[in-house]
Chain A
Amino acid sequence: MTQVKLDPVEQATVKENRLQDTKELKKSHKKPNRVWQDMKKNYSAYLFLLPKLILFVLFVAFPVVWAIVLSFQEYRFNGSIFIGLDNYIAVFKSEAFRIALKNTLLFTVVTVPFSVISALVISVMIFGLGKISQSFFRSAFYLPSVTSMVIIAMVWRWMYNYDFGLFNYFLSWFGVEPINWLGQSATALWALIIMSCLIPFGTGIIMYLASMGSISQSLYEAARIDGANSIKQFFHITVPLLKPTTLYLVLLSTIGSFQVFTQIIMMTGGGPGSSTETLVHLIYKTGFRDFEYGLASAQAVVLFVIILIFSIIQFRVLRHDE
């Protein structure tokens, strides 16, 4: 209130002395005032934001801050104590974390390029078809994405079954001996990787199709006149123009695959040994089986930083040669 009353007085003084430095004075004193009035004028906007903002602060912002605090603490039932960087040191020293990181990286490095490239290839194939077949195939490839990963993991565990699974049966057609897919450390992680590769990247296909629709046909027309065949057109027109979509999809699937969890807990529990242990499964185990809440928070923060670094690198690389 006092600020509002001050306003005319100040205006008067500004008018009175037209010195050079009054401009700065005017700026610094008027600003909070205007902001306050703007806020009052738009109070309804804040009311519209209020419910979401309360939920956001309570269940997102506050927990994020708390997680960072926790990561510097050792959890004790009767009051946690600060232990500085000890949790982080423990994270980087621990064998379990290194294995989980290695497995997660391998998983990501194989599945992300495979998913994105196969989505691109499938989209190009679908795009050339008529309307009806286009929407038919688009649905066929998107359908698995609407079903829960829990279900997909359950059925793949069944398909990987040693005695009666579909895979060993298919392999028997080619005279290959049955493989104990999920039961031995040599194959378990690869079984999960193959599974992720064979689940179509439905979101990718839909987004690629949408972006292809917005590429002007005249570009292809011109290329055809210049004698470029369809493979050349694909590499010189389609791929470069789809780059923003590709960037988005690579980021999306990288973030997703760094967080791989459901398959692990439903199919292998991280085993045999720790051959399929991944970061999020490790966080889950550390926090909710071993109750090392501080350590689990530190692991989660490290996961976030890793994802962030990867995102920035991908952003740079895929953006650069545009």
Chain B
Amino acid sequence: MKNKPIKSLNKIITYILLTIFAIISLLPLYWVFSTSLQLSSYQSQDMERPVSYVNANPPKMYPMGIPLYFEHWGEAREAAKAGDIELETYHRDMMSYIIEDTFSSFVNLFTKQDVGKWFFNSIYIAVIVTFGILLFDSMAGYVLAKKRFPGRNLIFWVIIATMMIPGQVTLVPLFFMVGKLELMNTHWALILPDLAMVFGVFLMRQFMYSIPDELLEAAKMDGASEWKTYWTVVLPLAKPGLAALGIFTFMSVWNSFLWPIIVLNNEALYTLPVGLKTLQDANLASFKLLMSGAAITAIPMIIVFILFQRHFVKGLTIGGVKE
């Protein structure tokens, strides 16, 4: 009985602390979106020079478009009462100004820069790699988990061992290879090395261990070929693992950066992260523009995360510590 108030106090403190931590953790993302939608500048008749909302001191903590509308609403109403202007005109002019200015950097990015192309490149490369990885890694993971054949352990351990090697080691040789194969400045230079990532083989093997052997035996009894067994029995059972692997592959390809900046020099071929770097190099101080580019790059992953949250949790916990 005596413990109750202490317990609820504890709970309240926990909530407060967690909320503070969560705000700190989400503040940067909030700031990306807030800055990207900030009005660039505004000048009213009584101002000598336009004020910048993006570069403001103190900073404007939220996009000023709508507040600006209401700030001048009072004056507009007075003026309308006096018969100087019509409220409808005020509304129309103000709204079109606010909307145009709020989204100006997005329009700029899609019309004057290659962002549309970069977006498309990022999407299609990530999709191709994801499906390739799902197919090849599930095939490899399946036989490594369920078949006994000479060399099985050797192959598995070689794969695990290379997971330890940091990617930077192969940077120069891969660069040479891509040059020799004449793939420099093509998307194959990104796709092929990405398809060779081994993490998925490990994940799939761990996951497919749990598929009961009896089901595979039964399929064999029914006269199913190896391929048919894999396609109609194994794959459907591996769905949760495939979902997790697919999401992580998509995410890592979408966000990959070091290798793409080495092999892509042609602006039309850039992926979004590479494009963002050149955008920043060319516009070091236009933070509204830069944050809009960042927002465009972040939104797809945020959507993927919100839609497939539980698979993220699953993916991180399969094959991780338990085993």
Pairing of A with B: yes
Residues of A within 8 A of B (CB): 35, 38-39, 41-42, 44-46, 48-49, 51-53, 55-56, 58-64, 66-67, 70, 122, 125-126, 128-129, 133, 135, 137-144, 146-152, 154-156, 158-159, 161, 163-166, 169, 172, 198-200, 203, 206-207, 210-211, 214, 244-245, 248, 255, 258-259, 261-262, 265-266, 280, 283-284, 287-288, 293, 296-297, 300-301, 303-304, 307-308, 311
Report whether B35 and A158 are in contact in the complex, using a CB–CB cutoff of 8 Å. yes
Please report the C-alpha to C-alpha distance between residue A126 and residue B25 in the assembled complex, in whole angstroms: 15
Please report the C-alpha to C-alpha distance between residue A261 and residue B177 in the assembled complex, in whole angstroms: 23
Report whether A38 and B150 are in contact in the complex, using a CB–CB cutoff of 8 Å. yes
Please report the C-alpha to C-alpha distance between residue A53 and residue B140 in the assembled complex, in whole angstroms: 8
Q: Which of A59, A163, A207, A288 contacts B55 (CB 8 A)?
A: A163
Shortest C-beta distance, A197 to chain B (Å), equals 10
Q: A151-B276, A283-B171 are in contact. Are A63 and B177 (CB under 8 A)?
A: yes
Report whether A301 and B277 are in contact in the complex, using a CB–CB cutoff of 8 Å. no
Residues of B within 8 A of A (CB): 11, 14-15, 17-18, 21-22, 24-29, 31-32, 35, 54-59, 135-137, 139-140, 142-144, 147-152, 155, 158-159, 162, 164-177, 192-193, 195-196, 198, 201, 226-227, 230, 251, 254-255, 257-258, 261-262, 272-273, 276-277, 280, 287, 290-291, 293-294, 297-298, 301-302, 304-306, 309, 312-313, 316-317, 320-322
25 A-B pairs (CB sep. < 8 Å): A39-B151, A41-B149, A44-B226, A49-B143, A56-B162, A56-B198, A58-B192, A70-B173, A125-B14, A129-B14, A129-B18, A137-B18, A146-B251, A147-B298, A149-B257, A150-B276, A155-B31, A159-B31, A161-B287, A206-B312, A248-B321, A255-B166, A297-B169, A300-B172, A307-B166
Report whether A52 and B137 are in contact in the complex, using a CB–CB cutoff of 8 Å. yes
- Interface of chain A: mostly helix, strand, loop or mixed: helix
Report whether B172 and A303 are in contact in the complex, using a CB–CB cutoff of 8 Å. no
Please report the C-alpha to C-alpha distance between residue A198 and residue B55 in the assembled complex, in whole angstroms: 24
Report whether A200 and B168 are in contact in the complex, using a CB–CB cutoff of 8 Å. no
Q: Which residues of A contact B165 (CB under 8 A)?
A: 64, 304
Shortest C-beta distance, A12 to chain B (Å), equals 26
Report whether B24 and A139 are in contact in the complex, using a CB–CB cutoff of 8 Å. no
Q: Which residues of B contact A140 (CB under 8 A)?
A: 22, 25-26
Q: A52-B201, A311-B164 are in contact. Are A125 and B309 (CB under 8 A)?
A: no
Residue from the set B27, B147, B165 with the largest chain A CB neighbour count within 10 Å: B165
Q: Which residues of B contact A146 (CB under 8 A)?
A: 251, 301-302, 304-305, 312
Please report the C-alpha to C-alpha distance between residue A143 and residue B171 in the assembled complex, in whole angstroms: 29
Report whether B273 and A67 are in contact in the complex, using a CB–CB cutoff of 8 Å. no
Report whether B57 and A150 are in contact in the complex, using a CB–CB cutoff of 8 Å. no
Nearest residue, chain A, Cβ from B261: A265
Report whether B162 and A207 are in contact in the complex, using a CB–CB cutoff of 8 Å. no
Closest 4 CB pairs of A and B: A42-B149, A59-B196, A63-B170, A66-B173
Shortest C-beta distance, A286 to chain B (Å), equals 9
Shortest C-beta distance, B153 to chain A (Å), equals 13
Q: How many A-B contacts if CB must be within 8 Å?
A: 272
Q: A59-B192, A143-B26, A303-B166 are in contact. Are A158 and B302 (CB under 8 A)?
A: no
Q: Which of B54, B139, B172 contacts A287 (CB 8 A)?
A: B172
Q: A52-B140, A300-B169 are in contact. Are A150 and B297 (CB under 8 A)?
A: yes
Please report the C-alpha to C-alpha distance between residue A297 and residue B166 in the assembled complex, in whole angstroms: 12
Report whether A148 and B150 are in contact in the complex, using a CB–CB cutoff of 8 Å. no
Q: Which residues of A contact B293 (CB under 8 A)?
A: 154
Q: Which residues of B contact A265 (CB under 8 A)?
A: 261, 277
Q: Which of B143, B164, B298 contacts A48 (CB 8 A)?
A: B143
Please report the C-alpha to C-alpha distance between residue A135 and residue B310 in the assembled complex, in whole angstroms: 10
Q: Which of B159, B193, B317 contacts A59 (CB 8 A)?
A: B193
Q: Which of A135, A154, A303 contacts B290 (CB 8 A)?
A: A154
Nearest residue, chain A, Cβ from B133: A52
Please report the C-alpha to C-alpha distance between residue A156 and residue B28 in the assembled complex, in whole angstroms: 7
Report whether A70 and B25 are in contact in the complex, using a CB–CB cutoff of 8 Å. no
Please report the C-alpha to C-alpha distance between residue A266 and residue B279 in the assembled complex, in whole angstroms: 11
- 5 more contacts with CB within 8 A, not counting A141-B25, A255-B166, are A60-B196, A146-B251, A148-B298, A172-B58, A287-B171
Report whether A207 and B321 are in contact in the complex, using a CB–CB cutoff of 8 Å. yes
Report whether B149 and A45 are in contact in the complex, using a CB–CB cutoff of 8 Å. yes
Q: Which of A63, A142, A151, A211 contacts B32 (CB 8 A)?
A: A151
